[in-house]
Copies of this chain bind each other. A is one copy, B any other.
């Protein structure tokens, strides 16, 4: 039954040889790896604006331009640094792998914790932003955001990924280019309109920059920090160099430039239009939706923008499903996470990692009520920590390798590490109380968990390893005795069957009867005389009507008598009732006995199952 439902939803098991690796052309790779980065223009500029106009009386709208320009410069810097990463690591691998190779265990674990946090946030942020796009277009859906988010998470993303879709599927190509096309058309139309029909209604104060005091500076820096969320996903290409067609590194570098260029154009355009139309935050309507409505009205073009935005955002959430389970499997192979995260499920997907990601993202969405703005406060810090670690690793890499032109490359990555490290500090300071502290608490906790798991696995491996001399010692030990104890209350068919088994497995079998009065003892002896089961009957008197204690005493006595290599097995005669409620009508002695014996180190407990037919 359960299996049928699973087959229906997930599909039948796949053979090992069905695991394939396809090489991607640039145009396909661009669409697949850039959905996370490109889709962030749907919430990045909005988050900058929101922060700048959030405090009444402190309208800092005029600073939107400078903030946007800083982000563009940062984007260029990070893209250039990652081009170096792509060139130096043709085998791919994210910040964890690079840091492990160049910087050692702790930086690698910090990177792993940061990337873990950010993949989960990518899923949560992208899903909720995608839902926001569609709710903006169809206001009737307002108020049901969390339900929509969870439905997409469980029934689309999780199901599809458990089935295991090929990353190279064309289904992933279409939304990215459709979105790209829509946004470029929107920007071109918007800019054309702005040039031909200048709006005169822009309030004068909106372009005035207020005096830059400490409060305003803090606000501006926080806007910058929130805007940095647009840059998540930029590392995706460098992490996946081996998936490109030959020459891999060259193609990956070209694709990175393309992605950064497109992102820069879209980001600039959206920011310009936000300022031009003087968009202000509205409940349940995104900034992109407002711009699009201003440019196109509620025309089919408007709905096209909203729907492709939704699609690319859900696709961006899917990149977390492509990335995190693989990261977890690498970390698990190194023994820092539970081993079962490292093995592929029956559909060749890392199903345990997929389920873990879904649960974590669902918790975030529920706790933050699907509000993109609130989730953004936690976002980006992890990404920039991993950027910093990756760039620092590269510096070490160049110093070690000392290949041609290594000084220039080391300098570039050094600047990259410094800048992204600075961004980490800015994000930490400006967003600390808004949620960044959660990530800064989470990462050390994860490192502690990673280390604890690793040390447990090491200790188990040591305890379970078996040196050859132990085997040879065991070989000359000679045959073991096997003492079998069968507790018997009433002599029934079940006891008879159990005794037959006991005689097969052991050479010294004792049937032990606990008699609370002489009457049952006599009855038992009589039955034994009739049965002649060939097993010694031991009657223990228990005038206090205790069952466990005399039996345990007997077992302990036998334990003291036996040689170290001998085994003691307790075989409990028990029957399985046909209906569950019938269990309530029988003594749970077998169960109690098993529970009390399970704690004894050297006793083996077993049951010969006897199933009642009625």
Expressed in whole angstroms, the Cα–Cα distance for A213 and B598 within the complex equals 73
Contacts of A345 in B (CB 8 A): 545
Given contact pairs A346-B545, A504-B482, A587-B340, A601 touches B611 in the complex (Cβ within 8 A): yes
A447 sits at the interface (CB 8 A)? no
Expressed in whole angstroms, the Cα–Cα distance for A500 and B611 within the complex equals 30
Contact in complex: A614, B459 (CB < 8 Å): yes
Contact in complex: A13, B545 (CB < 8 Å): yes
Expressed in whole angstroms, the Cα–Cα distance for A48 and B236 within the complex equals 84
A347, chain B: closest CB distance, angstroms: 10
Which listed residue (B460, B474, B544) contacts A13, Cβ 8 A? B544
Q: Mark A135-175, 1 if CB is under 8 A from B, else 0.
A: 00000000000000000000000000000000000000000
Contacts of A577 in B (CB 8 A): 460
Contact in complex: A598, B609 (CB < 8 Å): yes
Given contact pairs A505-B505, A546-B346, A612 touches B460 in the complex (Cβ within 8 A): yes
Residues 507-547 of A at the B interface (beta carbon under 8 Å): 516-517, 530-532, 543-546
A507, chain B: closest CB distance, angstroms: 9
Contacts of A464 in B (CB 8 A): 490, 492-494, 575
Expressed in whole angstroms, the Cα–Cα distance for A494 and B463 within the complex equals 9
Contacts of A15 in B (CB 8 A): 543-544
Residues 581-614 of A at the B interface (beta carbon under 8 Å): 582, 584-587, 598, 601-609, 611-614
Contacts of A614 in B (CB 8 A): 459, 463
Residues 1-59 of A at the B interface (beta carbon under 8 Å): 13-17
Contact in complex: A500, B480 (CB < 8 Å): yes
Contacts of A500 in B (CB 8 A): 474, 480
A296 sits at the interface (CB 8 A)? no
Given contact pairs A346-B546, A609-B598, A505 touches B493 in the complex (Cβ within 8 A): no
Contact in complex: B344, A545 (CB < 8 Å): yes
Contacts of A607 in B (CB 8 A): 604
Contact in complex: B609, A457 (CB < 8 Å): no
Q: Mark A457-474, 1 if CB is under 8 A from B, else 0.
A: 101100111101011001
A250 sits at the interface (CB 8 A)? no
Expressed in whole angstroms, the Cα–Cα distance for A569 and B585 within the complex equals 29
Contacts of A584 in B (CB 8 A): 338
A496 sits at the interface (CB 8 A)? yes
A15, A340, A603, A613: residue with the most chain B Cβ atoms closer than 10 Å: A340
A280 sits at the interface (CB 8 A)? no
Contact in complex: A496, B471 (CB < 8 Å): yes
Residues 305-360 of A at the B interface (beta carbon under 8 Å): 338-340, 343-346
A262 sits at the interface (CB 8 A)? no
A453 sits at the interface (CB 8 A)? yes
A186, chain B: closest CB distance, angstroms: 47
Contacts of A532 in B (CB 8 A): 471
Expressed in whole angstroms, the Cα–Cα distance for A490 and B456 within the complex equals 17
A501, A505, A530, A605: residue with the most chain B Cβ atoms closer than 10 Å: A505
Closest residue of chain B to A598, judged by CB? B609
Contact in complex: A608, B601 (CB < 8 Å): no
Contacts of A603 in B (CB 8 A): 609
A506 sits at the interface (CB 8 A)? yes
Closest residue of chain B to A335, judged by CB? B585
Contact in complex: B456, A582 (CB < 8 Å): yes
Expressed in whole angstroms, the Cα–Cα distance for A364 and B496 within the complex equals 46
A406 sits at the interface (CB 8 A)? no
Residues 547-573 of A at the B interface (beta carbon under 8 Å): 567, 569
Which listed residue (B13, B491, B516) contacts A16, Cβ 8 A? B516
Contact in complex: B16, A457 (CB < 8 Å): no
Contact in complex: A612, B463 (CB < 8 Å): yes
Contacts of A613 in B (CB 8 A): 463
Closest residue of chain B to A490, judged by CB? B464
Contact in complex: A604, B604 (CB < 8 Å): no
Expressed in whole angstroms, the Cα–Cα distance for A474 and B15 within the complex equals 48
Q: Mark A474-497, 1 if CB is under 8 A from B, else 0.
A: 100001101000000011111010
Contacts of A17 in B (CB 8 A): 543
Contacts of A474 in B (CB 8 A): 496, 500
A321, chain B: closest CB distance, angstroms: 20
User: Would you mind naming 24 contact pairs between A and B with Cβ atoms under 8 Å apart?
Assistant: A14-B544, A15-B544, A16-B516, A16-B517, A16-B544, A339-B587, A340-B587, A456-B585, A459-B612, A463-B493, A463-B614, A464-B492, A468-B530, A471-B496, A474-B500, A480-B504, A501-B567, A569-B606, A601-B609, A602-B609, A603-B609, A604-B608, A604-B609, A606-B606
Q: A338-B585, A464-B575, A465-B493 are in contact. List 18 more A-B contacts (CB 8 A).
A: A16-B545, A339-B586, A340-B587, A346-B545, A459-B612, A460-B612, A463-B612, A464-B492, A464-B494, A466-B491, A470-B493, A470-B496, A482-B504, A501-B567, A504-B505, A569-B606, A601-B611, A603-B609
Closest 7 A-B residue pairs measured CB to CB?
A464-B492, A606-B606, A505-B505, A13-B544, A466-B493, A16-B543, A459-B614
